């Protein structure tokens, strides 16, 4: 019975061995076969069955095959040409890997071979045991690539991206110098490494695995694992191609470490006040939304407190801006020390602060106690240190509005708190006012403006003014179209008074269409005047107008109607646009570019920029917002943001233009950091059509 069982086991092992695609064998110490499986007999030895090799060597079968083809001595050379790996294995007495090659049936065969010493049950050396896997196609692909390697490498090494070519098993078969630089591995080390297991950082392996299944993947952000263990952020893209008849994956990575650092810096500068360390107004909506959601759940009241220092300008004028900065830092610290960990304090701008008091269980008792504590702390006298040596008694006005639940609009709450603050200022300053419905007059005025604005559309009261854009060498490089409301009784109405209302009411769509129509008409009228031929006109496009389904079609109609040449029209878009469906936004931008319309990102740094997406957007220009230019000579925060913006634009080969340039000092600072196109009152105020035409004619 035991003998029968052993025979069955042997038969089963033979069955397993003969069903494997890999070659399996065992040899004695002289290289004579003790065992051979079916794959070895059929693909290498040309043996009639698995018994024939027993007691014979590789050379025997090689000679026999050559005798069948006397006219071709290279018909079967594998037996002689293969490296004497049996001897090497026995010399080292440990498992080893080899690559063996030679001709079989007149064709080159490459094998990946694994061998190990073979011992019997008592530890006596019998010979070697081994397996072989056909890697001919892989080696042929490698050899074909190597033949054109010099030219191919020259092409690869001209790019700033790290390039990899992976085979169907995701093994690297080619890499360029930048790939080596980014990963820290030499090119030789990269060859053979697995894309997912060896190169990609473990934190994103599942994500990248899915991306590599996409035939032509759009750029995406991921991370690679550097040789030193560090995680390197990269922008990646990949495409499946046929290379020398084989399916391969070409992947490109761009090191965005510096961009990430700049992004973090800009995000901090955008969302936090560098002087006080408090969050700034950009984070207010986020905080308000979180608090309103929590209030929905717990049912507690909250209070939005708008604070303004009454005598700050006087202190600044008396003791200087530096002393004002020291005072603001102290006030911020006092505010933080006056509130609980659940409350939030922000610097809104200048000498204005916002406090959000949360979780008010008994509003009548708690609010008075909390506000009194805040006032007592922030209105204590303050001694400016040397060299100022001045005692200051700060005073504050406060506007307060209560809210509960998520039915409120953060912007509306802020507006109402601001109305209450305004009322406190009117009441003589250094006092507190709570919002009440008598402050609704402003809202009524807004309704009146909405009505009058509709009449303005009907009566052609919307006019286009133009403000020239000047390069460093004094040339006019373009102009921005700015809308003005020319009322028959009130005269020119400032856009500050009606643009925000048009935005909130939706009238901005009609207003934007009127302006674009007029601009296209003017460009057409100027087309025969040589002085206007190289002056593109920038038009502000609102988010609501841009996101209209028919926007592209409407623009195309105007382009054709007025025969607008490519390069003569530029659209200025704000960063808030990218909070919408990004794919739709980018698709529309590309369609505009195809029409010959260039894109400028307006008010850069004031919104929600994603630097990774900036690289994929068809932009030609970044526009630095006037809020950063106004006090650029004195405000370190503004300097840092403008510096970072110009650096990012340069790295992406985008032009920068600064608006609101009103002094030579501002222009010189901008010039020194590389911003060479300017717009502002230093050069010209916005001009009515006739004056603008005269300006250009006489420039």
CATH code of the domain containing 426: 3.30.70.270
User: What pLDDT shows up at residue 311?
Assistant: 79
Classify the C-alpha dihedral 562-564-568-571 as positive or negative: positive
Asked, for residue 616, whether it belongs to a domain, the answer is: yes
Do 410 and 516 lie in one domain? The reply is no
3-class DSSP state for residue 532? helix
Do 427 and 565 lie in one domain? The reply is no
Do 607 and 663 lie in one domain? The reply is yes
User: What is the rounded distance in angstroms from the CA atom of residue 487 to the CA atom of residue 490?
Assistant: 5
Do 59 and 112 lie in one domain? The reply is yes
User: 470, 434, 432: which is closest to 659 by C-alpha?
Assistant: 470
User: What pLDDT shows up at residue 461?
Assistant: 95
Asked, for residue 450, whether it belongs to a domain, the answer is: no
Beta bridge mates, 348? none
Asked, for residue 449, whether it belongs to a domain, the answer is: no
Q: At what angle do helices 636-651 and 257-271 cross, to 10 degrees?
A: 150
User: What pLDDT shows up at residue 606?
Assistant: 58
Rg for the chain (alpha carbons), in Å?
Answer: 38
User: What pLDDT shows up at residue 611?
Assistant: 61
Q: What is the DSSP string of 101-126?
A: EEEETTEEEEEEEEEEEEE-TTS-EE
Question: 91, 115, 134: which is the final residue of a domain?
Answer: 134
Q: DSSP E strands: which ranges in 563-689?
A: 569-574, 598-604, 621-624, 655-659, 677-679
Do 612 and 683 lie in one domain? The reply is yes
Do 130 and 152 lie in one domain? The reply is no
Classify the C-alpha dihedral 507-509-512-516 as positive or negative: negative
Question: 134, 155, 172: which is the final residue of a domain?
Answer: 134
User: What pLDDT shows up at residue 281?
Assistant: 86
Q: Give the end-to-end CA distance of the chain in Å, rounded to a whole number.
A: 112
Q: What is the CATH number of the domain that holds 512?
A: 3.20.20.450
Domain that holds residue 328: 277-435
As given in the structure block, the two tokens for residue 671 are 């010039």
Task: Give the pairing of strands 476-487 and 491-493.
Answer: antiparallel
- CA-CA-CA-CA torsion for 557, 559, 562, 564, nearest 10 degrees? -170
DSSP 131: E
Q: What is the CATH number of the domain that holds 180?
A: 3.30.450.20
Do 169 and 249 lie in one domain? The reply is yes
User: 143, 148, 181: which is closest to 164 by C-alpha?
Assistant: 181
Do 550 and 483 lie in one domain? The reply is yes
* C-beta separation of 670 from 455 below 8 A: no
- CA-CA-CA-CA torsion for 195, 196, 198, 202, nearest 10 degrees? 150
Neighbours of 380 (CB within 10 A): 12
User: What pLDDT shows up at residue 153?
Assistant: 64
Element (H, E) at 304: strand 301-309
For the chain, 699 residues long, the average pLDDT of each consecutive 10-residue run is 66 89 93 93 92 92 89 82 78 92 88 93 93 89 70 71 90 91 93 92 91 85 93 91 82 89 82 90 88 88 93 78 88 94 92 94 86 92 77 90 85 89 82 79 76 93 96 94 94 90 90 96 92 92 94 96 95 84 89 95 66 77 90 86 88 91 93 93 95 93
Task: Give the pairing of strands 537-540 and 569-574.
Answer: parallel
Q: Token pair 């303004």 is at which residue?
A: 308
Q: Token pair 């969050």 is at which residue?
A: 279
Beta bridge mates, 480? 467, 538
Who's near 334: CB < 8 A, 6+ residues apart? 377, 378, 380
Asked, for residue 504, whether it belongs to a domain, the answer is: yes
Asked, for residue 446, whether it belongs to a domain, the answer is: no
Do 204 and 285 lie in one domain? The reply is no
User: C-alpha 93: how far from its chain's center?
Assistant: 55
User: What is the rounded distance in angstroms from the CA atom of residue 685 to the CA atom of residue 699?
Assistant: 15
- Read off φ and ψ for residue 478, nearest 5 degrees: 170, -175
- Number of structural domains the chain divides into: 4
Do 425 and 474 lie in one domain? The reply is no
As given in the structure block, the two tokens for residue 207 are 């994500």
User: What pLDDT shows up at residue 155?
Assistant: 67
Do 218 and 157 lie in one domain? The reply is yes
Asked, for residue 112, whether it belongs to a domain, the answer is: yes
Asked, for residue 447, whether it belongs to a domain, the answer is: no
3-class DSSP state for residue 91? helix
CA 575, 580, 585: angle at the middle one, nearest 5? 80
* C-beta separation of 536 from 570 below 8 A: yes
Do 680 and 549 lie in one domain? The reply is yes
Asked, for residue 305, whether it belongs to a domain, the answer is: yes
Q: DSSP E strands: which ranges in 87-230?
A: 96-104, 107-119, 125-134, 162-166, 172-175, 216-225
User: What pLDDT shows up at residue 470?
Assistant: 96
- CA-CA-CA-CA torsion for 634, 638, 643, 645, nearest 10 degrees? -160
Q: At what angle do helices 363-378 and 321-336 cross, to 10 degrees?
A: 150
Element (H, E) at 199: none
């Amino acid at each position: 019975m035991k003998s029968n069982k052993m025979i069955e086991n042997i038969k089963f092992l033979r069955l397993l061995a003969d069903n494997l695609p890999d070659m399996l064998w065992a040899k004695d110490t002289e290289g004579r076969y003790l065992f051979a499986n079916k794959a070895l007999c059929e693909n290498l030895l040309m043996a009639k069955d698995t018994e024939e090799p027993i007691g014979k060597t590789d050379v025997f079968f090689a000679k026999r095959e050559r005798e069948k083809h006397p006219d071709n001595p290279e018909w079967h050379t594998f037996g002689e040409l293969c490296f004497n790996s049996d001897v090497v294995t026995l010399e080292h007495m440990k498992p080893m890997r080899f690559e063996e090659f030679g001709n079989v049936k007149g064709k080159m065969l490459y094998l990946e071979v694994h061998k190990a010493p073979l011992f019997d049950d008592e530890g006596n050396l019998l010979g070697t045991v081994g397996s072989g896997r056909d890697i001919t196609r892989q080696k042929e692909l490698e050899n074909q690539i190597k033949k054109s390697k010099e030219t191919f490498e020259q092409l690869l090494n001209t790019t700033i991206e790290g390039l990899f070519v992976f085979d169907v098993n995701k093994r690297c078969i080619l890499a360029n110098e930048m790939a080596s630089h980014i990963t820290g591995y030499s090119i030789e080390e990269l060859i053979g490494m697995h894309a997912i297991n060896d190169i990609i950082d473990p934190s994103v392996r599942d994500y990248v695995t899915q991306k590599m299944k996409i035939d032509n993947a759009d750029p995406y952000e991921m991370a690679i694992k550097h040789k030193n263990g560090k995680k390197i952020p990269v922008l990646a893209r990949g495409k499946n191609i046929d290379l020398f008849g084989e399916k391969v994956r070409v992947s490109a990575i761009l090191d965005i470490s510096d961009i990430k650092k700049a992004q973090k810096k800009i995000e901090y500068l955008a969302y936090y006040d560098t002087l006080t360390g408090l969050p700034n107004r950009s984070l207010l909506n986020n905080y308000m939304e979180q608090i309103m959601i929590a209030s929905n759940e717990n049912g507690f009241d909250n209070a939005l407190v708008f604070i303004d220092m009454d005598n700050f300008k006087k202190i600044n004028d008396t003791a200087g801006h530096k002393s004002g900065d020291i005072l603001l830092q102290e006030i911020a610290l006092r505010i933080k020390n006056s509130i609980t960990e659940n409350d939030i304090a922000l610097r809104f701008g200048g000498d204005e602060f916002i406090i959000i008091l949360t979780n008010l269980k008994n509003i009548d008792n708690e609010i008075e106690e909390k506000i009194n504590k805040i006032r007592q702390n922030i209105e204590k006298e303050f001694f400016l240190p040397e060299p100022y040596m001045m005692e200051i008694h700060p005073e504050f006005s406060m506007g307060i509005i209560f809210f509960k639940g998520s039915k409120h609009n953060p912007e509306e709450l802020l507006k109402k708190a601001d109305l209450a603050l305004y009322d406190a200022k009117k009441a003589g300053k250094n006092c507190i006012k709570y919002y009440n419905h008598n402050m609704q007059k402003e809202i009524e005025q807004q309704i009146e403006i909405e009505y009058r604005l509709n009449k303005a559309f009907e009566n052609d009261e919307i006019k286009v003014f133009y403000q020239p854009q000047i390069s460093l060498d004094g040339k006019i490089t373009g102009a921005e179209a700015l809308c003005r409301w020319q009322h028959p009784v009130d005269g020119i109405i400032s856009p500050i008074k009606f643009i925000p209302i048009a935005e909130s009411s939706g009238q901005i769509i009609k207003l934007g269409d009127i302006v674009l129509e007029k601009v296209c008409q003017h460009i057409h009228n100027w087309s025969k005047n040589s002085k206007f031929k190289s002056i593109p006109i920038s038009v502000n496009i609102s988010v609501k107008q841009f996101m209209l389904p028919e926007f592209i079609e409407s623009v195309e109609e105007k382009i054709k109607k007025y025969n607008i040449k490519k390069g003569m029209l530029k659209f200025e878009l704000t960063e808030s646009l990218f909070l919408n469906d990004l794919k739709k936004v980018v698709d529309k931008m590309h369609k505009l570019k195809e029409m010959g319309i260039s894109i400028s990102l307006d008010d850069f740094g004031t919104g929600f920029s994603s630097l990774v997406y900036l690289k994929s957007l068809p932009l030609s220009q970044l526009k630095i917002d006037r809020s950063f230019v106004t006090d650029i000579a004195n405000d370190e925060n503004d300097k840092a943001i403008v510096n970072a913006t110009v650096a990012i634009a340069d790295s992406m080969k985008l032009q920068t233009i600064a608006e609101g340039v009103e002094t030579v000092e501002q222009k010189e600072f901008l010039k020194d950091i590389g911003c060479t196109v300017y717009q502002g009152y230093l050069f010209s105020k916005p001009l009515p059509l006739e004056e603008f035409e005269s300006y250009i004619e006489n420039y």
